[in-house]
Structure 1
Amino acid sequence: MTASAVEIIQLALAPIFLIVGIGTMVNVATGRVARVIDRARWFEELAREKSQRIDARALRELRSLNKRMRLANWSINFLIAAALVICVDVILLMINGLVTTSLDTTILVLFMLSMVFLTGGLIAFFLEVSVATATLKINSHYFQQSHQLDEDSD
């Protein structure tokens, strides 16, 4: 016996909400990529105008920006993959309600795969935030030292 259209749509709603949540995470991750790009462009302009200001600290931050960009891109890729697999899962849920052949195993395997991708995206996002936080701590430590040197010279 096949399910009614209402039951099929009800089954598909939970994964749809998951896609909305993933979309929000992708939005956050792309915002972080935009900030990294803005900061890298600032360094690019600084290198063109005042290349002597590109010191070891600036190079460390540029390496950190490069790492953050890679991690944010991995996060976005994993999250998009999760959303795409969930879309296929929703399609299969609907087909499963219309045909007599059971696609339950395929649907469950795809859902687990989407959770693996989602987990990968969240881990990459966590690592990107960790690198950003570590860079901020290094920069604030540098400025505290500079401020201390200024006070000592007064």
Structure 2
Amino acid sequence: MNGDVVSILTMAKVIQTAVAPVFLITGIAATLGVLSNRLARITDRARLLDRKLNNSQDEELKDHLTREMRALLKRSRYIHVAFSMSVLSALLVCAVVMVLFVSHLYTLSLGVTLSSCFIAAMLLLICAFLALLAEVFLATRSMRRGMIFKDIGE
């Protein structure tokens, strides 16, 4: 076989290998969409509460609104952490794809680098999902404490 044909076939295998990480990037992008939506809802709710807080003269209502604002702030912090870790994970997955091609083009042995980037990406993604789970727990705890649906009986 001609050397160019072998090189093209080898490049085709590299492209096939790079497809899995690209699908992972798509999944991370979907996660970022979910996180963005949750953060937007938190932000909208915080703006509404801020307007109510500034217009209210009732101290009891102000205390209630302040508690809910604190809960929203905690939730937004977890979303921020999850968002940051997801983006860093996606960047590392992009680096994996890039290193795959660089290692093929320059015939370098970058297996340890590839593995390290991929493991770090997965660890960041795990932490991002844990932060999202913590935010969901905070949201449901707020509902149970009566901040939301307080007039609805069990």
Quote the residue 1:81 is aligned against: 88
Quote the residue 2:151 is aligned against: 143
Please show how residues 5-154 of structure 1 align to structure 2 within 5 Å.
5-52=11-58, 54-139=61-146, 142-144=150-152
66-75 or 94-103: which moved more?
Answer: 94-103
1:50 to partner: Cα distance: 2.0
Higher RCO, 1 vs 2 (CA within 8 Å, ≥6 residues apart): 1
Q: In structure 2, what is the Cα distance between the partners aligned to 1:12 and 1:108?
A: 13
1:73 to partner: Cα distance: 0.3
Of all paired residues, the percent bearing the same amino acid is 30
1:10 to partner: Cα distance: 0.4
Give the gaps of 5 or more residues in structure 2. 1-5
| TM, length-normalised to structure 2 | 0.87
14-23 or 94-103: which moved more?
Answer: 94-103
Give the gaps of 5 or more residues in structure 1. 148-154
RMSD: 2.0
How many residue pairs end up in the alignment? 146
The answer to which structure has the higher helix fraction is: 1
